[in-house]
């Protein structure tokens, strides 16, 4: 598969953009080789600068749940663009998207639009700290909530620990107030509250951990977080940037029947344009400026083009049977991969929930980041490369989830599994036997 144009573009990009990319994971650092420069997408497929076609399971990391260049989204964005691109003043489109989000997520009585998931989580924890008067935030190892300083903490140690900076440039003072616990470990959470309970403003959690593969919450984990937060007067914030409108129409909170105090959204709600949001209880959200004292702002927050794309996407998702189709496609893929690995005697685990899935070269179960780190990175790297060569584009990192869209038909999944069957052989192919010495 030719990649000469991508190679040339990557060399040129590196001269003016750090790492040649505008977000690190795109650089293929975990899998090697040249990142494919994508020229266009349509439905479930994308084409790169060398004309190679791929069935796409990244979908811009989740937003493209309808598939690329969906006619309804393009029509809505064209209509909005014809009116102008941004006013820095309120527009009716923002009300319509806010009303759609509040109608879909009963726990969200008011919602503020921002431009990225990072802004959404950063603002939600500021509100939680203001509302409770407490400084600490409890998060989970392996969960990613964007790159705000206090949330960029290094991997934990398997028990409840104070955060350590996860990146140069993040002073210890910015992570000292972050408490980390292993995902799915309610005992560690209770320990943390036993030690710092009166100082913990909120628990921030991905209801499905999509940044260490696709790790599902164990039964009782999310309700247990709700219970502990209520016991200690802390707020429960669900980071649904990835799971919102991806796992179910009402998000993972509907799927797992847990009611957060605040919810962060992103990706799907922007329909592929820069939009995200945070929202929740009216008594909390009314503390945000200008009605309340808690400050947060954004030049392009609620941008009309992004609102149009998000609204068109949500309206298309309301169609009956949508989430059965998405869940069916993701499950067929995960189960198919599992069967292929079993046929070839490969240690492998795959999961799916709603329209998202994950897989790892690991016997499973994967219940936390410590487990996820045991993924065989070399096999993953070879599997990724062999899939790419066969026209299947999955996330270029073992610590990411995959996403299907309404444009992934059964025949696309079947084609993917055919490619995966051959790619799995390459991923675990025995090293060539050394030539017998004469
Ligand atoms: P953004 O600031 O990238 O819009 O959102 C941050 C964020 C917040 N919360 C969750 C659960 C997220 O998954 C993300 C961002 N997701 C990654 C992929 N796992 C975005 C891809 C990238 O970083 O390029």
Least confident of 13-27, 272-286, 424-438: 424-438
CA 10 to mean position of chain CA atoms = 25
Give the model's pLDDT for residue 438. Answer: 43
Helices and strands, number each (H, E), in the chain: 14, 15
| Residue having the nearest C-alpha atom to atom 23 of ligand 1 | 23
For the segment 266-291, the average pLDDT, to the nearest whole number, is 98
| Residue having the nearest C-alpha atom to atom 8 of ligand 1 | 145
Q: Return residue ranges of the chain for CATH 3.40.640.10.
A: 71-317
The tokens 């869940």 sit on which residue? Answer: 327
Question: How does DSSP classify residue 270?
Answer: G
- 3-state class (DSSP) for residue 249: coil
Contact present, 374 and 362 (Cβ < 8 Å): yes
In whole angstroms, give the CA distance from residue 248 to residue 311.
Answer: 16
Name the burial class of residue 398, with classes exposed (0-12), middle (13-18) and buried (19+) by CB atoms within 10 angstroms of its CB: buried
Give the model's pLDDT for residue 431. Answer: 44
**Token pair in block for residue 374:** 């045991």
Rounded to the nearest whole angstrom, what is the distance from the C-alpha of residue 292 to the centroid of ligand 1?
28
Q: Note the pLDDT tens digit of each residue in 369-413.
A: 999 999 999 999 999 999 999 999 999 999 999 999 999 999 999
User: How many of the other CB atoms lie within 10 Å of CB of 39?
Assistant: 14
What CATH code would you report for 71-317?
A: 3.40.640.10
| Residue having the nearest C-alpha atom to atom 13 of ligand 1 | 242
- % of the chain beyond a pLDDT of 90: 93
Give the model's pLDDT for residue 430. Answer: 54
**Predicted confidence band at 435 (pLDDT cuts at 50, 70, 90)?**
low
Question: Probe ligand 1: pick from 115, 120, 183, 241, max atoms within 8 Å of CB?
Answer: 241
Taking the CA atoms of 98, 102, 103 and 109 in sequence, report the sign of the dihedral they define.
negative
For the segment 19-47, the average pLDDT, to the nearest whole number, is 96
For the segment 127-133, the average pLDDT, to the nearest whole number, is 98
pLDDT at 49 over 90: yes
Question: Probe ligand 1: pick from 26, 61, 265, 394, max atoms within 8 Å of CB?
Answer: 61
In whole angstroms, give the CA distance from residue 392 to residue 390.
Answer: 6
| Residue having the nearest C-alpha atom to atom 18 of ligand 1 | 61
- 3-state class (DSSP) for residue 174: helix
List ligand 1's pocket residues with C-beta within 6 A.
23, 25, 61, 116-118, 121, 144-146, 206, 210-211, 239, 241-242, 266, 276, 400
Give the model's pLDDT for residue 158. Answer: 65
CA distances to 348, 356, 389 from 341, rounded to whole Å, are 6, 19, 19
Contact present, 298 and 119 (Cβ < 8 Å): yes
Q: What positions carry a catalytic annotation?
A: 144, 239, 267
pLDDT at 160 over 80: no
Give rounded-to-5 percent helix, strand, coil for the chain: 40, 15, 40
Give the model's pLDDT for residue 190. Answer: 98
Give the model's pLDDT for residue 326. Answer: 98
Helix (H) or strand (E) holding 403: strand 402-403
Ligand 1: which atom is nearest the Cα of residue 400?
19
Ligand 1: which atom is nearest the Cα of residue 401?
19
Rounded to the nearest whole angstrom, what is the distance from the C-alpha of residue 168 to the centroid of ligand 1?
19
Give the model's pLDDT for residue 159. Answer: 72
**Predicted confidence band at 154 (pLDDT cuts at 50, 70, 90)?**
confident
Rounded to the nearest whole angstrom, what is the distance from the C-alpha of residue 211 to the centroid of ligand 1?
8
**Token pair in block for residue 134:** 């407490």
pLDDT at 14 over 60: yes
Q: Note the pLDDT tens digit of each residue in 310-345.
A: 999 999 999 999 999 999 999 999 999 999 999 999
Contact present, 188 and 182 (Cβ < 8 Å): yes
For the segment 284-293, the average pLDDT, to the nearest whole number, is 98
Between helix 322-343 and helix 410-428 the angle, nearest 10°, is 30
Q: Note the pLDDT tens digit of each residue in 224-249.
A: 999 999 999 999 999 999 999 999 99
Write down the pTM of the prediction. Answer: 0.96
pLDDT at 436 over 60: no
Long-range pairs, 426-433, Cβ under 8 A, ≥24:
426/382, 426/383, 426/385, 426/386, 427/346, 427/361, 427/379, 427/380, 427/382, 427/383, 427/386, 428/344, 428/346, 428/379, 428/382, 429/382
Question: Probe ligand 1: pick from 116, 122, 146, max atoms within 8 Å of CB?
Answer: 146
Q: Which residues contact 336 (CB under 8 A, 6 or more apart)?
A: 413, 416, 417, 420
Contact present, 403 and 333 (Cβ < 8 Å): no
Rounded to the nearest whole angstrom, what is the distance from the C-alpha of residue 223 to the centroid of ligand 1?
24
Give the model's pLDDT for residue 437. Answer: 52
pLDDT at 193 over 60: yes
In whole angstroms, give the CA distance from residue 64 to residue 68.
Answer: 6
Closest CA to 264 of 126, 368, 136: 126
Q: Note the pLDDT tens digit of each residue in 64-75.
A: 999 999 999 999
Ligand 1: which atom is nearest the Cα of residue 274?
4
| Residue having the nearest C-alpha atom to atom 9 of ligand 1 | 145
């Amino acid at each position: 598969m030719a990649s000469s144009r991508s190679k040339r573009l990557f060399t040129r990009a590196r001269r003016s953009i750090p790492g040649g990319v505008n977000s690190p994971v795109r650089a293929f650092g975990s899998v090697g080789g040249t990142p494919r420069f994508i020229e266009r997408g349509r439905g479930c497929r994308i084409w790169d600068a060398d004309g190679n076609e791929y069935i796409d399971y990244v979908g811009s990391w989740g937003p493209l749940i309808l598939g690329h260049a969906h006619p309804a989204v393009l029509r809505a964005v064209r209509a909005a663009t014809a009116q102008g691109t941004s006013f820095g003043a309120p527009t009716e489109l923002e009300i319509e998207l806010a009303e759609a989000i509040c109608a879909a997520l009963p726990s969200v009585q008011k919602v503020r639009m921002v431009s990225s998931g990072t802004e959404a989580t950063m603002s939600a924890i500021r509100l939680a700290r203001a509302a409770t008067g407490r400084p600490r935030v409890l998060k989970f190892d392996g969960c990613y909530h964007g790159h705000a300083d206090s949330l960029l903490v290094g991997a934990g140690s398997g028990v409840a620990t104070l955060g350590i900076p996860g990146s140069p440039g993040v002073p210890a003072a910015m992570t000292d107030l972050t408490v980390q616990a292993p995902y799915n470990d309610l005992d560690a959470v209770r320990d943390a509250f036993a030690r710092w309970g009166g100082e913990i403003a909120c628990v921030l959690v991905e209801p499905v951990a999509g940044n260490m593969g696709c790790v599902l919450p164990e039964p009782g984990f999310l309700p247990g977080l709700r219970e502990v937060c209520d016991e200690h007067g802390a707020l429960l914030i669900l980071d649904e940037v990835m799971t919102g409108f991806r796992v179910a129409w009402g998000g993972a909170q509907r799927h797992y029947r847990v009611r957060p105090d605040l919810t962060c959204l992103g990706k799907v709600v922007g329909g592929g344009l820069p939009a995200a949001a945070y929202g929740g209880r009216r008594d909390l959200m009314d503390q945000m400026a200008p009605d309340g004292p808690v400050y947060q702002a954004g030049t392009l927050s609620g941008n009309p083009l992004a609102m149009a794309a998000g609204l068109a996407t949500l309206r298309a998702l309301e169609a009956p049977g949508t989430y059965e189709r998405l869940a069916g496609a993701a499950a067929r893929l995960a189960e198919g991969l599992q069967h292929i690995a079993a046929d070839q005697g490969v240690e492998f685990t795959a999961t799916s929930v709603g329209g998202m899935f994950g897989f790892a070269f690991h016997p499973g179960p994967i219940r936390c980041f410590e487990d996820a780190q045991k993924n065989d990175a070399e096999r993953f790297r070879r599997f990724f490369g062999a899939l790419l060569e066969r026209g299947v584009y999955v996330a270029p990192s073992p610590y990411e989830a995959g996403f299907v869209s309404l444009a992934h038909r059964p025949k696309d999944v079947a084609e993917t599994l055919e490619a995966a069957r051959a790619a799995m052989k390459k991923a675990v192919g025995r090293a060539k036997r050394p030539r017998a010495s004469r």
